[in-house]
Structure 1
Amino acid sequence: MAETSTKPTSKDRTIIFPRGDVGILLLHGLGGTPIEMNNVARNFAERGYTAMCPMLAGHCATEADLVATGWKDWYASAEDALTTLEQRCRVVLVGGLSMGAVLAAMLAARQPQRVHGLIMFAPTLWYDGWSIPWYRFLLKLFINTPSGRKYRFVEQEPYGLKDERLRMVLAQSMFSGDSTAAGLEATPALALRELWRLVDALKPELPELRQPTMVVHAREDDIASLTNLEYLQRNLGGTVESLVLDDSYHLVTLDRQRRLVIAKAAAFVESVARSYERAGAHEHDRLQVVA
């Protein structure tokens, strides 16, 4: 078995498990870290896939570092990681959690020849889950004011986790002051504005996104309601496989049903890889006949 290479440095917390020639690029959420996707990546690697969790620009540092970047910088990080993964893999799928799922969809939409499938874990087009304050809409109205620009969306219980033990561990890590472990304890308003800009840029491109897509969402998602899943089902241009969870909150890759999520996602990856192999074999046979 190939050696696992985990590469955290003082500047780059990217994680990669080099295995086979089918690769999965996994993008973390806004203000998060590659560790969010580590469990999924490790399980994919155990199944023989190469998995990579890149660190997005401005992350794993301070709120000021995050605010100094925008969604186009995050997209550039994802595209650079895609290029790295392509050097090893002949088939590449892209996935992501929360904002990372939205970013993964943008990558798939803009790189249709390079991305063969998409997995969206708890995609967040809107912060409209049951734990989000009702007055959230006011932020868009005053975000360009001095007070609005200074606003911080502080993480609060249940922190995206229905599993109480994991919730306690996550909270301790998040509020430890080490943003490389569990991400920032608060999301700056200007970073939220960049997410809104990313979503606005993605929406017109969804009908052109024709790669097979899997969307995983919790029925009781505390951050992003099922409206997000329903919107994607209506607007994505290709086939959409949906998995709705009944015993999880927002962090579906970590919560109580994580094993189910990983198993279903792995089956989806296998299906996409086989389809690509069949298509390649068909094209080879066609060229042989022409020759």
Structure 2
Amino acid sequence: MNAPQNLPARSNDHAVLLLHGLSSSASELRFLARLLTEEGFVTHTPELPGYSAGTGHVPMEQWISAAVAEFDALAVQHQHVSVCGLSMGATLAAAVAQQRPAARALLLLSITLNYDGWAIPWYRFLLDYAYYTPMRSRYRYREHEPYGLRNEALRSKIARAMQRGEISEVGPASIALPALHEASRLAGSVRKKLKTINADCLIIHAIDDETSSPHNARFVAANVGASFLRTIWLDDSYHMITSDNEREVVARECALFLRESAAASVSSNNPTPVVSRALARRLRQLATVAGKA
């Protein structure tokens, strides 16, 4: 596996590996990557062979290997490397953290261990069986309303792109059956090994997620091995939380958590605590609330 191309030069000691959703592209994470960059983090959103849009199909073990190689390349250049994923990308990020305990933090956005949201068609479970029939090479699951978006204006824009069969900022118009099969295998593997993940963990999930129900986030929170764990629930978004109404909240909370994680790491080896400005603001807010209680 070749090292990632065009990685940014060293400008910060904390890099974030961003993993987009299944059969999609870096566009899903563009807003988040931009804000993290503005906050001083190095971000890298790679194209993964057999996982990203237009790169064919390979077993999920190769998805993990490719993502781990990207992590390792970043680790050579930066003191801290965290992993963040959206949707099935969050599941893939968890698999990376399982193999690389050195991950500073793990950010799971709309993690998908089961496609069990309220908009998933009743026949979705049949696709697991269809994979073993001649349909495997012909069937594609087509995305449909609401396309992971509560924001109606953006949803209308995405709908036009989907009707033209294009890939959009919230993913592809359709997903091939082999990709869905490998995604199910990946989710099953991650589900069994959550206890082995010790990286600081942030979970952000919409309570109205139409693709992966809140049960996915609750299951991870109850089973992950992280000692520093935060779960944030959103009430004005659907599945694509990096593009929907609360995308700025998502980005800000990710940046804050990364800073808290890195600060805790430094202070554990330094008798003088290192606290970022963002963390200091949060601590003051908590102190104020406690004082009024």
Q: 1:72 aligns with which of 50, 61, 64?
A: 61
Cα offset, 1:204, TM superposition: 2.1
- Aligned CA-pair RMSD: 2.2
Secondary structure class of the residue paired with 1:25: strand
Any conservation in 2 of the 1:54–1:77 contact (CA below 8 Å)?
A: no
- CA distance in 2: counterparts of 1:149 and 1:230, whole angstroms: 35
State the match for 2:241 in structure 1.
252
Q: Which amino acid aligns with 1:237?
A: G
User: May I ask how many residue pairs the two structures share in their alignment?
Assistant: 267
State the match for 1:5 in structure 2.
none
5 Å-filtered alignment, 1:192-231, equals: 192-231=180-219
The superposition leaves residues 20-62 of structure 1 with CA deviations (integer Å, 9 ceiling, x where unpaired) of 1111111000011011111101100101111111112135554
Cα offset, 1:149, TM superposition: 4.7
- CA distance in 2: counterparts of 1:78 and 1:87, whole angstroms: 15
Q: 2:104 aligns with which of 116, 119, 133?
A: 116
The TM-score with structure 2 as length reference comes to 0.84
Secondary structure class of the residue paired with 2:269: helix
- CA distance in 1: counterparts of 2:220 and 2:233, whole angstroms: 13
Any conservation in 1 of the 2:24–2:53 contact (CA below 8 Å)?
A: no
Gap change, CA 1:154 and 1:14, over 3 Å in 2 = farther
Which consecutive residues of structure 2, in runs of 5 or more, have no partner in the other structure? 272-293
The superposition leaves residues 175-218 of structure 1 with CA deviations (integer Å, 9 ceiling, x where unpaired) of 44554866431111111110111112212211111111000100
5 Å-filtered alignment, 1:29-44, equals: 29-44=21-36
Any conservation in 2 of the 1:139–1:148 contact (CA below 8 Å)?
A: no
5 Å-filtered alignment, 1:1-291, equals: 19-59=11-51, 61-62=53-54, 65-66=55-56, 68-113=57-102, 115-179=103-167, 183-238=171-226, 239-281=228-270
Gap change, CA 1:82 and 1:125, over 3 Å in 2 = same
The TM-score with structure 1 as length reference comes to 0.85
Secondary structure class of the residue paired with 2:203: strand
Cα offset, 1:147, TM superposition: 2.4
Any conservation in 2 of the 1:219–1:226 contact (CA below 8 Å)?
A: yes
- CA distance in 2: counterparts of 1:149 and 1:127, whole angstroms: 21
Identity of aligned residues (%): 34
Which consecutive residues of structure 1, in runs of 5 or more, have no partner in the other structure? 1-11, 283-291
- CA distance in 1: counterparts of 2:241 and 2:8, whole angstroms: 21
Q: Which amino acid aligns with 2:186?
A: L
Any conservation in 2 of the 1:17–1:52 contact (CA below 8 Å)?
A: no
- CA distance in 1: counterparts of 2:193 and 2:161, whole angstroms: 37
Secondary structure class of the residue paired with 1:87: helix
- CA distance in 2: counterparts of 1:164 and 1:180, whole angstroms: 15
State the match for 1:6 in structure 2.
none
Bigger mean CA offset, 192-201 vs 182-191: 182-191
- CA distance in 2: counterparts of 1:182 and 1:242, whole angstroms: 23
Gap change, CA 1:279 and 1:229, over 3 Å in 2 = same
Any conservation in 2 of the 1:160–1:251 contact (CA below 8 Å)?
A: yes
The superposition leaves residues 114-159 of structure 1 with CA deviations (integer Å, 9 ceiling, x where unpaired) of x111000000001111110112112223320112553211010110
Any conservation in 1 of the 2:19–2:90 contact (CA below 8 Å)?
A: yes
Gap change, CA 1:144 and 1:97, over 3 Å in 2 = same
